[in-house]
Amino acid sequence: MLLLGIFQFLMLALSLTVASEEGTITCEFRKNACNIVSCGLPGQDGSQGPKGEKGDQGRPGKVGPTGIKGDLGSMGPKGPKGEKGEIGELIPLKSQITALQGEMRTLQDLMQKYRKVMILLGAKTVDDKWFVVAASEGTFEEGKRICSQRGALLASPQNARENRALQELAQEFNRNIYLGISDEKIEGTFQYHNGQTLSYTNWANGEPNGGTKENCIELYTNGQWNDKSCTEKRLIVCGF
């Protein structure tokens, strides 16, 4: 029985092998073969089953080799206008500076001309300040008004050099000058027009001595100061 079983098994294997390899073995052959081994014949193949459901997606494959370089793309749209370069900005500035230097030169020449004219007419200048005789005589109030009408103030020397310039005018006109200083507001405290206290004085010996009777200041031809009544007539010098 064991040998018969082995033989049956071998025959069956043989028939399956031939069928799979030839594909044309007839059923007759298999019938004969089976008759020899006394086994049942396998039935004909069933009809094809229904199509199975789609399987799950497989795992991603390995990365393929690098492809060849693609063609050059078409040109993109025009970008926004860029900022001006530093050199581009400096070029017009350079010509503007040259033009300004020319204008400054012209103005300086003009200023020099006016300066000569002013000095010729008797004005005195110290740094950027000008002293000009506006009237041969006037009271303190008249002097303030005359200078104010000319866009200036009654002269107020603020240092020794300015005082010296006024002294020269006093000498040239041989008249004392009213300064733009008084103690009308606060007796005993002399102030400039703007209310500031004095930064420079050149009182003569014993001055000021007039109290409430002498609230203004005259500048002598020697440059010294004397407090004096405001209603005298003195040389009117404006400061610009």
- Please give the residue ranges that form the binding site for ligand MMA (CB under 6 A): 207, 209-210, 214, 226-228
How far is the C-alpha of 39 from the C-alpha of 9, rounded, in Å? Answer: 10
158 vs 224, which CB is nearer to ligand MMA?
224
Q: What 3 state SS string does 65-96 have?
A: CCCCCCCCCCCCCCCCCCCCCHHHHHHHHHHH
How far is the C-alpha of 153 from the C-alpha of 192, rounded, in Å? Answer: 10
Q: How far is the CB of 214 from ligand MMA (least distance, A)?
A: 5
Distance of CA 24 to the CA centre of its chain: 96
Q: Say how many residues make up the chain.
A: 240
130 vs 140, which CB is nearer to ligand MMA?
140
**Residue 203 binds which entry of Ca ion, ligand MMA, none, CB below 5-8 Å type-dependent:** none
95 vs 212, which CB is nearer to ligand MMA?
212
Torsion sign over Cα 93, 98, 101, 102: negative
167 vs 226, which CB is nearer to ligand MMA?
226
Q: How far is the CB of 209 from ligand MMA (least distance, A)?
A: 5
* Angle, helices 2-22/27-37, rounded to nearest 10 degrees: 170
Tokens of 148: 């104010």
Q: How far is the CB of 221 from ligand MMA (least distance, A)?
A: 14
Q: How far is the CB of 206 from ligand MMA (least distance, A)?
A: 7
48 vs 212, which CB is nearer to ligand MMA?
212
Q: How far is the CB of 129 from Ca ion (least distance, A)?
A: 26
Tell me which residues touch Ca ion (CB under 5 A). 209-210, 214, 226-227
